Amino acid sequence: MKLYTTKVAPNPKRVHIFLAEKGIDIECVEIDLGKSENLEADFVAKNPLGRVPVLELDDGSYIAESVAICRYFEEQQPEPPLFGADAKDKAVVEMWNRRMESEILANASMCFRHTHAYWEGRIPQVPEFGELCRTNIMERMAWLDGELADREFIAGDRFTVADITAFTGFQIGRVPKIRIGEDMTNLQRWFDGVGARPSAQG
């Protein structure tokens, strides 16, 4: 089994944090996005969308999409449960993970892609759209700060995949200078706590 990854990129990072929380070690193959290795024919044969991460299984098949890869490992090794424990818990974690994907990670990634020099000449950039995403995430941060007033983690009292998704969103958001507001003390406390976990190092 091999993970094709770009360790600094947010979606692969979700998988790395997830695996570290599970204590799973896996062979990694680094794909250099800066050199467009993800668009080379042998990588596109693994994932036609040319995106990382991609997991290669021992039978030679491939699984792309970071959440799909995480779910595979959750099934292989259920402890600790990062997608929830019982029916309600699983649904609540799913709800929060989807929210964190669409409201935090997507807005932060799109702000980065559409406003940052790194992407100039690589993708068509629409800076106004990037700025709209910045506005969106600032609004969502205020909402999340309120949510975190009375619980430790995004989906409840336990660390889950929703924390991983949100954390990587805020991390990539730092590149286009999206910052947690000084008054958002609950959100900052959560961010610092997740960032201090051993799984978030590296």
Specify the amino acid at residue 133: C
Cα gap 55→3, rounded to integer Å: 5
Specify the amino acid at residue 59: D
Of 10, 84, 130, 169, the one binding ligand GSH (CB under 6 A) is 10
Phi first, then psi, for residue 155 (nearest 5°) are -100, 10
Residue 11 C-beta: closest distance to ligand GSH, Å: 4
Cα gap 27→148, rounded to integer Å: 36
Residue 102 C-beta: closest distance to ligand GSH, Å: 11
- Smaller CB distance to ligand GSH: residue 38 or 160? 38
Nearest to 162 by CA among 64, 70, 86, 75: 70
Q: Does 97 bind ligand GSH (CB under 6 A)?
A: no
Of 3, 17, 19, 52, the one binding ligand GSH (CB under 6 A) is 52
Q: Does 108 bind ligand GSH (CB under 6 A)?
A: no
Q: Which residues bind ligand GSH (CB under 6 A)?
A: 9-11, 33, 38, 50-53, 65-66
